[in-house]
């Protein structure tokens, strides 16, 4: 997902690689601030990866000592354990954490499904543009979503590894939901 040049040039096949530094920056705070147990099962349902690129979240989760990471992706060329897998055609139960960078046009659907399927008190983390919080269409979602924390990245990422200096035109955040959470939303800039 990227907002750079949305109306003109786009990345080949609309494929965007999440920068590993962005994931690492987030996990460094998230794991300790939310007391995440790295031995519990994790799912990345939009894991990406291809012949030229690693899967960003699984790679960084492993560096942060997560030991049980399941991967899937709809792309046939994904490095996921289950490539060519439509997240919406499977039930995904038994995970304490579902974390991914979903396609922007289906981000609410990804989040709603993950919240339904994650274990009780489990976390759902979605990387999205900060302006995901806006629009009338998403307002009903935000009114009910168990949003617990928004980690706003102060540096804009580049999603095309072939053009690492071509930073995105908008800020991004990791949105943290917790199943059953009803408190206020915490904001952090990282």
Summarised one tens digit per residue, pLDDT across range 25-60 is 999 999 999 999 999 999 999 999 988 889 999 999
**pTM, to two decimals:** 0.90
pLDDT at 120 over 60: yes
The predicted model gives 113-119 an average pLDDT of 98
Per-residue pLDDT reduced to its tens digit, 55-86: 999 999 999 999 999 999 999 999 999 999 99
Architecture of domain 12-189: 3-Layer(aba) Sandwich (3.40)
Domain locations in the chain? 12-189
Distance CA 124, CA 101 (A): 11
Buried b (16+ CB within 10 A) or exposed e, 111-126: bebbbebbeeebbbbb
Per-residue pLDDT reduced to its tens digit, 155-180: 988 787 677 667 777 899 999 999 99
pLDDT at 141 over 70: yes
* Tokens 């990471």 -> residue: 69
174 vs 50, 52, 143, 185, CA distance in Å? 23, 25, 18, 13
């Amino acid at each position: 997902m990227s907002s750079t040049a949305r109306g003109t040039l786009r990345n080949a096949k609309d494929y965007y690689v999440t920068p590993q530094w962005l994931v690492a920056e987030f996990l460094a705070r998230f794991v300790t601030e939310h007391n995440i147990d790295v031995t519990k099962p994790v799912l990345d349902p939009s894991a990406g990866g291809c012949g030229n690129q690693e899967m960003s979240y699984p790679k960084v989760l492993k560096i942060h000592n997560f030991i049980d990471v399941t991967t899937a992706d709809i792309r046939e060329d994904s490095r996921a354990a289950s490539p060519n897998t439509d997240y919406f055609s499977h039930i995904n139960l038994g995970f304490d954490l579902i974390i991914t960078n979903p396609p922007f046009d289906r981000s609410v659907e990804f989040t709603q499904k993950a919240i339904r399927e994650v274990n009780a008190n489990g976390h759902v983390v979605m990387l999205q543009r900060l302006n995901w919080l806006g629009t009338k269409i998403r307002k009903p979602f935000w009114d009910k979503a168990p949003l617990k924390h928004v980690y706003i990245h102060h540096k804009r990422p580049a999603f095309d590894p072939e053009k690492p200096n071509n930073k995105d035109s908008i800020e991004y955040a990791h949105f943290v939901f917790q199943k059953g959470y009803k408190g206020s939303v915490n904001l952090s800039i990282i």
